[in-house]
Amino acid sequence: MNNKIKNIKKLIVKDSLELDCGKLIKNFSIAYETYGTLNKNKSNAILVFHALTGDQFVTNINPVTNREGWWATAVGPGKAIDTNKYFIICSNVLAGCMGSFGPGEINPETNELFGTTFPIITIKDMVKAQIYLLKYLGIEKLLSVAGGSMGGMQVLQFSSLYPDKTYSAIPIACSASHSAQNIALNELGRQAIMADPNWNKGNYFKTDLSPNKGLAVARMAAHITYLSKKGLQEKFGRKLQEKGSLKFSFDADFQIESYLRYQGSNFVDRFDANSYLYITRAMDYFDLEKQFNGNLSLAFKNTKTKFCVISFSSDWLYPTAENKEIVIALNACGANVSFVEVNSDKGHDSFLLNVPEFLKTLSEFLNSIYNEVSNEKRI
Amino acid sequence: MNNKIKNIKKLIVKDSLELDCGKLIKNFSIAYETYGTLNKNKSNAILVFHALTGDQFVTNINPVTNREGWWATAVGPGKAIDTNKYFIICSNVLAGCMGSFGPGEINPETNELFGTTFPIITIKDMVKAQIYLLKYLGIEKLLSVAGGSMGGMQVLQFSSLYPDKTYSAIPIACSASHSAQNIALNELGRQAIMADPNWNKGNYFKTDLSPNKGLAVARMAAHITYLSKKGLQEKFGRKLQEKGSLKFSFDADFQIESYLRYQGSNFVDRFDANSYLYITRAMDYFDLEKQFNGNLSLAFKNTKTKFCVISFSSDWLYPTAENKEIVIALNACGANVSFVEVNSDKGHDSFLLNVPEFLKTLSEFLNSIYNEVSNEKRI
């Protein structure tokens, strides 16, 4: 996998970036991917932000994992985020494990892998780093920024920090500050990783062992939260792995058990345990409201960006109520905002799945912004 | 702790009991406790069933853990389940770790601790075992059977198996069959335990090591599910451990993190990892509907037992909808059933807490049954 990562597209940022934790980083890498073609007046670019376990490979086949990109349902020719029409950019977040500056990189000061000596990263740091990529690509103003879950947090942070750098913003299934329950769930994942003796205080790269069992448990826990109770009941219910009677053992009797075990073991092949710690920490630290002394609407003061906030009815991780708080804050500062709660039984995962109402909302909102911006440019 | 367990009250059942898995057990122990005084005509006895991590020490100080009994809010002199009035019985379930026949006991055939050679236990097995205790205590018919969560499952199973052995039944915050989400959450806990190398395929008693880290992670996961999103937000929100700014580390920054870590580390002192595996398995296997070929109302056919089903509005583990299915089935067979959804932000844990509406419901239902039975006995 490492060799494959070496061959992926990277921007090396020479500048210094001061992180929220106070540390300066420089000569750091941002691994990225683009899809579609940038038009002449560079007005059709959309910056997509990935979620906790995503990466820059939004669509097509991910060359590292050989699996389909994480947002292939939404991004591609003729799809909601149409690669025939738009130029899509996505980069691996800081602290990620798909080529961007992260805990699995070598610390030039020690010539050893960072591990847990890597600095704590915030959502703001992630967003700031991506500005270098836009500069490099020569894009002054994006058509849109879009993302779900942690991607949505980046959308909010970007829109707040750089109101003039995007015509529109689509925060999906997210929150302006991480709730106690979500911090608890992330902490559970971290504790599962840290409980694995192979984690070795983050120095597993010094041994031949990896904290795969702990990381798999963290993934299983997270995966349960991505699905709704109703969705799980409809898909799995109490269906048995093997028809007939129970095994009276601790083997996977129920299909839901095998499914979870598969999700766990599958994940460890493509994700790094330390990255999981760092990225969940960034999510927990996210509190846009606090950045503006408890008044979220100040985060968007005088913004001209047009927002489309999307939530899903069965998402209990980032429920509609938390998405509505964003809408309320945007309304309070007179921003242009539309809001759709999409009916779906598929829980938080809905934004990654083929949910027609959602994809139509995405497509039509982007289309209207595109037409508006195109007309403006003609004038 | 083991010495303390040796001194607790136990009934040794000489009879053979055939378990659902097909195995026969005999000479098995049932550790139990009683509170209050059995009246002359033995009509004031209430059998309380404990939940996953409970035990026979319902109220007062648990002599093994030196902590307050798990249902001290509800059981005691003048309380909803009034020990001045009723005779309360509670036993540690089969597969438990507080003195009853469980995986931490010695297998007489091998003279070694059972570990995972212990047979898989079901809710039905647990209930059947407790009948021996009633026989021993000379109680032909109980005033009531009551319990929350897995305790509620035992209430349902008991009422179905022995309709003539109780005047009333109070299933609280439970379900007639474990949902896919709940199986998933239990499987997560089991995987966390099994991922701990100290678990050693269940043979940790052969070493000096215990799978405490894995068991703590399982407890943390479960604990999150016992509380509601709103309750967590109100109690913890984003409150920091130390006032001021974030630590930019993986230490417990947020109070919810310390709280969870405490819940995890505290739990391993009083609970056995193998028992956790066995008892969660029993919950997953529980499917009263399936016992009656998919028709839950047949489980209660011709019953004269009076039911009081209680759910909590913010319980997402055993939501009101699942409790209502029990009510619907009871109505379908013409049973006498009352149903209360108690408003509470405290989630599934509400049944263990001081929730006045709940305790009043419990107290008044029991009181009316008591008066009725007393009048009947006088006639």
Nearest Cα of chain A lies from the Cα of B302 at a distance, in angstroms, of 28
How does pLDDT run across A192-236, given as a tens digit for each residue?
999 999 999 999 999 999 999 999 999 999 999 999 999 999 999
**Do B62 and B162 sit in the same domain of this protein?**
yes
Residues of chain B contacting A214 with CB distance shorter than 8 Å: 195
Residues of chain A contacting B285 with CB distance shorter than 8 Å: 246, 253
Q: Is the reported ipTM for this assembly greater than 0.90? A: yes
Residue that is last in its domain, among B247, B278, B309: B278
pLDDT above 80: residue A176: yes
Note the pLDDT of residue B228. 98
pLDDT above 90: residue B152: yes
In angstroms, rounded to a whole number, what is the distance separating the alpha carbons of residues B187 and B281? 8
Can you point out the beta strands (E) in A61-191? 75-76, 81-82, 87-91, 106-107, 112-113, 142-148, 166-172
What is B95-139 written as a DSSP string? T-SSSSS-TTSEETTTTEE-GGGSPP--HHHHHHHHHHHHHHHT-
Residues of chain B contacting A193 with CB distance shorter than 8 Å: none
**Do A126 and A213 sit in the same domain of this protein?**
no
Query: What would the mean pLDDT of A344-356 be, rounded to a whole number?
Result: 98
pLDDT above 90: residue A7: no
How does pLDDT run across B218-238, given as a tens digit for each residue?
999 999 999 999 999 999 999
Note the pLDDT of residue A25. 96
What is the domain-level CATH number for residue A251? 1.10.1740.110
pLDDT above 70: residue A158: yes
Q: What mean pLDDT is reported for chain A?
A: 96
Query: Quick check: is B284 in a domain?
Result: no
Note the pLDDT of residue A286. 98
In angstroms, rounded to a whole number, what is the distance separating the alpha carbons of residues B119 and A364? 59
**Do B353 and B210 sit in the same domain of this protein?**
no
**Do A101 and A128 sit in the same domain of this protein?**
yes
Question: For A285, which of B188, B190, B246 is closest by C-beta distance?
Answer: B246
Note the pLDDT of residue A1. 46
Nearest Cα of chain A lies from the Cα of B373 at a distance, in angstroms, of 40
Residue that is last in its domain, among A247, A278, A309: A278
Note the pLDDT of residue B35. 98
In angstroms, rounded to a whole number, what is the distance separating the alpha carbons of residues B327 and B335? 9
Nearest Cα of chain A lies from the Cα of B74 at a distance, in angstroms, of 28
Taking alpha carbons only, the member of B197, B169, B189, B221 closest to residue B46 is B169
Query: What would the mean pLDDT of A12-29 be, rounded to a whole number?
Result: 97
Structure-token pair, residue A216: 């798999």
**Do B197 and B315 sit in the same domain of this protein?**
no
How does pLDDT run across B13-28, given as a tens digit for each residue?
999 999 999 999 999 9
What is the domain-level CATH number for residue A55? 3.40.50.1820
pLDDT above 90: residue A250: yes
Give CA A10 to chain center in angstroms.
19
**Do A228 and A113 sit in the same domain of this protein?**
no
Query: From residue A308, how far is each of A72, A159, A216, A336, B60 by CA, in Å?
Result: 21, 12, 35, 9, 56
Find the closest chain A residue to B221 by CA distance.
A188
In angstroms, rounded to a whole number, what is the distance separating the alpha carbons of residues A182 and A317? 7
pLDDT band at A326 (very low <50, low <70, confident <90, very high): very high
Query: Quick check: is B306 in a domain?
Result: yes
Give CA A185 to chain center in angstroms.
17
Structure-token pair, residue B227: 């509380």
Nearest Cα of chain A lies from the Cα of B21 at a distance, in angstroms, of 6
Nearest Cα of chain A lies from the Cα of B367 at a distance, in angstroms, of 36
- Residue B241, H or E segment: none
Structure-token pair, residue B61: 């100080």
Cβ contacts of residue A359 below 8 Å, gap of 6+?
A: A73, A74, A79, A80
Q: Identify the three-state secondary structure at position B156.
A: helix
Query: What would the mean pLDDT of A137-151 be, rounded to a whole number?
Result: 98
Residues of chain A contacting B294 with CB distance shorter than 8 Å: none
Query: Quick check: is B15 in a domain?
Result: yes
How does pLDDT run across B324-378, given as a tens digit for each residue?
999 999 999 999 999 999 999 999 999 999 999 999 999 999 999 999 999 887 6
Query: What would the mean pLDDT of A104-131 be, rounded to a whole number?
Result: 95
Q: Known catalytic residues of A?
A: 149, 315, 348
Residues of chain B contacting A120 with CB distance shorter than 8 Å: 248-249
**Do A167 and A221 sit in the same domain of this protein?**
no
Give CA B307 to chain center in angstroms.
18
- Residue A337, H or E segment: strand A336-342
Question: For A190, which of B213, B236, B250 is closest by C-beta distance?
Answer: B250
Residues of chain A contacting B184 with CB distance shorter than 8 Å: 220, 224, 232, 256-257, 260
**Do A131 and A208 sit in the same domain of this protein?**
no
CB contact under 8 A, A188 and B253: no
**Do B307 and B373 sit in the same domain of this protein?**
yes
Is residue B348 annotated as a catalytic residue, yes or no?
yes
In angstroms, rounded to a whole number, what is the distance separating the alpha carbons of residues A169 and A167? 7
Note the pLDDT of residue A243. 79
**Do B84 and B12 sit in the same domain of this protein?**
yes
Mutate to test the interface with B, among A23, A117, A125, A187 (most CBs of B within 10 A): A187
Note the pLDDT of residue B1. 46
**Do A263 and A339 sit in the same domain of this protein?**
no
In angstroms, rounded to a whole number, what is the distance separating the alpha carbons of residues B23 and B206? 25
How does pLDDT run across B182-217, given as a tens digit for each residue?
999 999 999 999 999 999 999 999 999 999 999 999
How does pLDDT run across A96-107, given as a tens digit for each residue?
999 999 999 999
Query: What would the mean pLDDT of B259-272 be, rounded to a whole number?
Result: 96
CB contact under 8 A, A184 and B232: yes
Report the alpha-carbon angle B168-B170-B173, nearest 5: 165
Q: Identify the three-state secondary structure at position A202.
A: helix
Q: Which of B149, B175, B177, B275 is catalytic?
A: B149
Q: Identify the three-state secondary structure at position A295.
A: coil
Place of tokens 């019985």: B89
pLDDT band at B2 (very low <50, low <70, confident <90, very high): low
Query: Quick check: is B190 in a domain?
Result: yes
Burial group, residue B213, by CB count within 10 angstroms (0-12, 13-18, 19+): buried
pLDDT above 80: residue A6: no
pLDDT above 50: residue A77: yes
Q: What mean pLDDT is reported for chain B?
A: 96
| Number of separate domains in chain A | 2
Question: For B250, which of A119, A183, A281 is closest by C-beta distance?
Answer: A281
Q: Identify the three-state secondary structure at position B327.
A: helix
Query: Quick check: is B44 in a domain?
Result: yes
Note the pLDDT of residue B379. 54
Phi-psi domain of B270 (left: phi exceeds 0; alpha: psi -120 through 50; beta: other): alpha
Query: What would the mean pLDDT of B281-296 be, rounded to a whole number?
Result: 97
- If you ran DSSP here, which 8-state letter would residue A254 be given? B
**Are B366 and B83 contacting, i.e. CB atoms less than 8 angstroms apart?**
no
Place of tokens 């070496």: A6
Query: Quick check: is B283 in a domain?
Result: no
**Do B51 and B100 sit in the same domain of this protein?**
yes
Query: From residue A60, how far is each of A6, A34, A76, A83, A140 by CA, in Å?
Result: 19, 11, 8, 11, 27
Residue that is last in its domain, among B218, B244, B278: B278
Q: B347: domain range?
A: 2-178+291-378
